[in-house]
Amino acid sequence: MSVLPDSMVGWIVIAVLLFWFVGAYNRLVRLRAAVLQAYATLDAALRKQLDFVQASITAALPEKDASGHSSAVAPLQAATTQLATLLGATRLHPLDPGAMAALATALQVLITAWQRQHPDAVTVFEADGTLSRPALLLPAGAGAASGTLEPMAWPEPSAAAEIARSQFNLAVGQYNAAIVQFPALLVAWMVRLRPAAPLL
């Protein structure tokens, strides 16, 4: 029975470690790419939601005030501007926890401003905390006489945005779990993969 020389054993160990490193690296990169892809879907859904809010503001403003300086909708306009700005910034760095925290705050500010503008609309949350389409308490057009925005559901397509947020958060959870598992955490440390943050 022949015994492999020590130099051959050393090369085999190096080859095995190299194959393992490449495999672990590829898995982490795939998980990171899944987070980026999920964020792209979330970003598109949030932009549609933002477009809906902006269109509702424009429709509510009198023609003489089309410049958008109505005090009734000023907080909602400010919230949409803030969210649009942070969406642009987060789009550049979707894995940055600070950017994601700022985006989450801006989104909550927008939802709060919308609810204040539409106090007669009921906001309903599902058991898992996601936002569902609320029922309207007033018929369409009821707010027109008072000069306020018509009470309507939290901006459509809210269902698409919530699904996209859930998928993004799931992808972030899988990626974050993978980069702290031993021994993959060594690969993550070597290539400087950092944890991402969900959109809460």
> What are the tens digits of pLDDT across the range 126-157?
444 444 444 333 333 444 444 444 445 555 55
Read off the pLDDT of each residue in 4-11 and give the average, rounded to a whole number.
71
Determine the Cα–Cα distance for residues 148 and 177; give it in Å rounded to an integer.
47
Examine the pLDDT at 63 and tell me if it is beyond 60.
Answer: no
Predicted local distance difference test score (pLDDT) of residue 21: 81
Cis peptide before 97 (omega within 30 of 0): no
Task: Report CA Rg, the chain.
Answer: 24
Determine the Cα–Cα distance for residues 3 and 119; give it in Å rounded to an integer.
81
The pTM (predicted TM-score) of the whole model is: 0.73
Tens digit of each residue's pLDDT (9 = 90 or more) over 167-187: 999 999 999 999 998 888 888
Predicted local distance difference test score (pLDDT) of residue 121: 58
Mean pLDDT lowest among 21-25, 104-108, 128-132: 128-132
